[in-house]
A and B are shown apart, each in its own frame.
Chain A
C-alpha cells in the first residue's frame, strides 16, 4: 500500500515534469518562430534596428540638451496638453466608474433587486470590456470632430465594463451578516446598502478605481495620437516634424513619463494603505 502510494506520487511527478518540459519547449518554440515571423514581416529588421535603437532617444536628448535654458519653458508650454490628457482620463474613470457601480449592483448575485437582470448586466459588461477603445474613439472622432470628448467616451465605455466586473466581484464577496443585522433593526433597502454594503466595498472600490486611473491616463495619451487631443496629439505633431523638434518631443516624453511615474507610485502607495492584506493587482 505504502509502496504503491510512493510509486503513484513518483509517476504523477514524472508526468508533471514531462508536461512542464513540453510547455517550456512549446513556449520557446512559439517565441523563436514568432520572432522569426515578426522579423520577416517587419519593414526594418532586428539586427540593424538594434544598432539604431539608441539613435532616436539619443537624438532627442541631445536636442533637448542643446536647447539648454529654453527647455524648461517647453515643459510649461505643454502643461495644458498634459492637463487635457489627465482630464480625459479622470472624467472617463469617474463616469465609467459610476456606470460600473450601477452594473455591479445589477450584476452581483447576492444584492440584485432584479435577479433576471444579472446575466444581462454581466454580458453587457463583458461586451464593453472587450470592445477596443480605438474603434469607438475613431468612430466618435468622425461624428463629433476632433475633441477630447470622443476619447473620454471611449475610455469611459471600456472602464464601465472593466471596473464593473471587478466591482461586482467585490460585491459578491461581502459579509451578508451586516445586512441581516441592519434588516433586523428595521433598516430599509437604501439604509442597508448605505450602512451595510458601502462601508464594506468602498476600500476595494477605491483601490480598483485608482489602478484604473493609471491605466486610463496611458490610454488617453495613446488615443490622443489618433486625433483625440491632449498630449498624444502634441506628440504626433512634433514627431511628424522630424528633426528640429527633438527638444519638444523630449519635453513631451519627459512630462508623460513623469506623470505616469507619479500616478503609479501614489496609487500604489494609497492602495497598499487601503488594503494591506488583500491583493488587488489586476487590470481587466
Chain B
C-alpha cells in the first residue's frame, strides 16, 4: 500500500485501530462472562458443595499410608481363644514364633505398638496403655463391649466405643479393635512386605547377598531344579504380589496397543489413497471410504469395545480390534489429508523421467508421506497405550482390569501402588521409545506435528 502519510491519514488510521481494539476488548469481556456463567452453572450441575461435604480426605491419607506400609494383625478369636499373628491377616503369612514386639505367656499377650503404646490382651479383656492419657479398659461382658476410660478424662476423638464395637486409632500406625467375635490389634511397618518371596518360603529370610550366593552355588536347595530357577519361580509365583500375572497383564495391554496401532496404520494407509482427492479412482469410492472413516471414528472406542467384548469375550484380541477399528478411521482420515497436501512437483519430476506408475508412487509419493505415516503412527501408539489401560478396565483385560479390581476390593493398597508404578513405567517407556524412533527415523525433515 502506498498511501501518503499525512497527519490526517494517520489520525484516521489511529481511529480505525482503536475501534478494532475496543471491539476486541468487548468480545473478550463477553467471552469471559460467558465462561464464568458456564462454570458457575457446572458448579451446581456437578453438585460441588455436596461433593465437598461427602469427600473423604482421610481416605487419601489412609491410602497414602497403606500404599507404602504393611500391617501385622494380632488377632484373638473369641471362639477358639487362639492368638494369631499374621501379615495383613493372611493365613499364608502367619508367624510361627511371635516377633520381638509381641510377648506371650499362658494368659496374656502383650503387644507393643511403638511410641510407648502397649496393649495387653487377656481372656476377654483388653488394656490399652496410652502415654500422657492413661489406661483404657475394654471388656466383653455378656456379648456387650464395655469401655472404661481413665478417670476424669474425655473420650479422645480417635476413639469410637459403642456396645457393639470398640475402635481406637490414635494415629495411622496403630489400631485396636474389639468386637464380640474377636480382638484385633494392627501395627504398621514401613515397606512392602514379602515383595520378593512369599512369607512361607524358606527364601523369605535370606538377604540379597545370600540369594546371590545361592544362585551361583551348585548345592541345590530343591533337588528337582537348579537354584536360580527356584529363586525365580518363588518370586514369579508370589501369591501376594503375583508378579507373573502382573507381567502377563502388562504384556496384554502392550499387545493391544501395539497390534491395534499397527493394524490401523497398515490398513489405514491403502484406504487413505482411496479417500484422497488426487489419488482416488472414482469420487463414489472417495465418498464411501470417507464416510466409512467417519463411521469408524464416530462409533468410538467405548462402543467398539463393548461390541467386541460381547463377540470375542475377555482378552487382548478384543482390545486390539477395538483400538484398530477406531484408529483406522482416525489414521485413515489423517493420511488422506496428508496425501492431498503432498508436493506435486516431486511427483511430476519423477514422472518426467519416464517412470512407471509404481515407480512414481515409490519415488514421488511414498518419500513424502512416510515421515507423516511414521510420526503419526508413533503418536497414536503413545495415546493408545493409555487407551488400552482404559478399555482394559471396561472388561477387555490387561493391567486396566487388574487395577480396577484391586482398587474395588481396596484391601491392599500397596498392590495398587505397585500396579500404578508399573503402568506408569510402561507408558513412559513407550513414550521415550517412540520419541527416540521419531527423531531417528525422520531426522532433518520438518514433520507436521
Residues on A facing B (Cβ under 8 Å) = 27, 30-31, 34-35, 37-39, 41-46, 49-50, 52-53, 55-57, 84, 87, 90-91, 94, 126, 130-135, 138-139, 142-145, 147-149, 152, 169, 195, 218-219, 221-223, 225-226, 232, 235, 239, 253, 256-257, 260-261, 264-265, 279, 281-284
Interface status of B424 (Cβ within 8 A of chain A) = yes
CB distance from B436 to the nearest CB of A (A): 14
Per-residue A-contact encoding for B382-425, CB less than 8 Å = 1, 0 else = 11001001110110010010011001001000000000100110
The answer to whether A226 touches B45, judged by C-beta atoms less than 8 angstroms apart, is no
* 20 examples of A-B residue contacts, CB within 8 angstroms: A35-B259, A37-B316, A38-B316, A42-B318, A49-B317, A56-B310, A57-B307, A94-B38, A138-B404, A142-B63, A218-B300, A222-B302, A226-B393, A256-B303, A257-B300, A264-B297, A279-B337, A279-B448, A282-B449, A284-B383
Report A-chain residues with C-beta under 8 Å of the C-beta of B15: none
- CA A257 – CA B21 in complex, angstroms? 41
The answer to whether A143 touches B59, judged by C-beta atoms less than 8 angstroms apart, is yes
- CA A143 – CA B397 in complex, angstroms? 24
The answer to whether B391 touches A222, judged by C-beta atoms less than 8 angstroms apart, is yes
**Known contacts A34-B262, A132-B386, A148-B46; is-contact A45 B312 (Cβ 8 Å):** yes
In this complex, the interface size class of chain B, counting residues with CB under 8 Å from chain A, is 35 or more
- CA A148 – CA B195 in complex, angstroms? 36
The answer to whether B379 touches A149, judged by C-beta atoms less than 8 angstroms apart, is no
The answer to whether B314 touches A42, judged by C-beta atoms less than 8 angstroms apart, is yes
The answer to whether A132 touches B389, judged by C-beta atoms less than 8 angstroms apart, is yes
CB distance from B433 to the nearest CB of A (A): 13
Report B-chain residues with C-beta under 8 Å of the C-beta of A84: 45
- CA A143 – CA B436 in complex, angstroms? 37
Residues on B facing A (Cβ under 8 Å) = 21, 35, 38-39, 42, 45-48, 51, 54-57, 59-60, 63, 252, 255-256, 258-259, 262-263, 266, 294, 297-303, 306-308, 310-318, 320, 330, 333-334, 337-338, 341, 376, 379-380, 382-383, 386, 389-391, 393-394, 397, 400, 403-404, 407, 410, 420, 423-424, 427-428, 431, 448-449
The answer to whether A144 touches B262, judged by C-beta atoms less than 8 angstroms apart, is no
Report B-chain residues with C-beta under 8 Å of the C-beta of A38: 255-256, 259, 315-317, 320
The answer to whether B302 touches A225, judged by C-beta atoms less than 8 angstroms apart, is yes
Q: Which of A30, A145, A232, A284 contacts B55 (CB 8 A)?
A: A145
The residue of chain A having its C-beta at the shortest distance from the C-beta of B262 within the complex is A31
Report B-chain residues with C-beta under 8 Å of the C-beta of A41: 252, 255, 315-317, 397
The residue of chain A having its C-beta at the shortest distance from the C-beta of B391 within the complex is A222
- CA A222 – CA B326 in complex, angstroms? 14
CB distance from B167 to the nearest CB of A (A): 21
The residue of chain B having its C-beta at the shortest distance from the C-beta of A24 within the complex is B266
**Known contacts A35-B317, A130-B428, A147-B51; is-contact A253 B266 (Cβ 8 Å):** no
- CA A147 – CA B54 in complex, angstroms? 10
**Most A C-beta atoms less than 10 A away, residue of B48, B51, B303, B313:** B303
- CA A199 – CA B35 in complex, angstroms? 20
The answer to whether B312 touches A42, judged by C-beta atoms less than 8 angstroms apart, is yes
- CA A268 – CA B390 in complex, angstroms? 26
The answer to whether A257 touches B63, judged by C-beta atoms less than 8 angstroms apart, is no
- CA A130 – CA B383 in complex, angstroms? 9
The answer to whether A142 touches B407, judged by C-beta atoms less than 8 angstroms apart, is yes
- CA A149 – CA B46 in complex, angstroms? 7
Q: A49-B311, A94-B38, A132-B427 are in contact. List 9 more A-B contacts (CB 8 A).
A: A30-B258, A43-B314, A130-B431, A138-B404, A138-B407, A139-B63, A149-B51, A221-B300, A281-B333
Report A-chain residues with C-beta under 8 Å of the C-beta of B51: 144-145, 147, 149
Report A-chain residues with C-beta under 8 Å of the C-beta of B60: 143
The answer to whether B255 touches A34, judged by C-beta atoms less than 8 angstroms apart, is yes
Report A-chain residues with C-beta under 8 Å of the C-beta of B47: 147
**Most B C-beta atoms less than 10 A away, residue of A50, A135, A265, A283:** A135
CB distance from B26 to the nearest CB of A (A): 14
**Known contacts A149-B46, A264-B297; is-contact A282 B379 (Cβ 8 Å):** yes
- CA A105 – CA B2 in complex, angstroms? 37
**Most A C-beta atoms less than 10 A away, residue of B42, B333, B420:** B42
The answer to whether A279 touches B386, judged by C-beta atoms less than 8 angstroms apart, is no
The answer to whether A91 touches B393, judged by C-beta atoms less than 8 angstroms apart, is no
**Known contacts A31-B266, A134-B403, A284-B383; is-contact A218 B301 (Cβ 8 Å):** yes
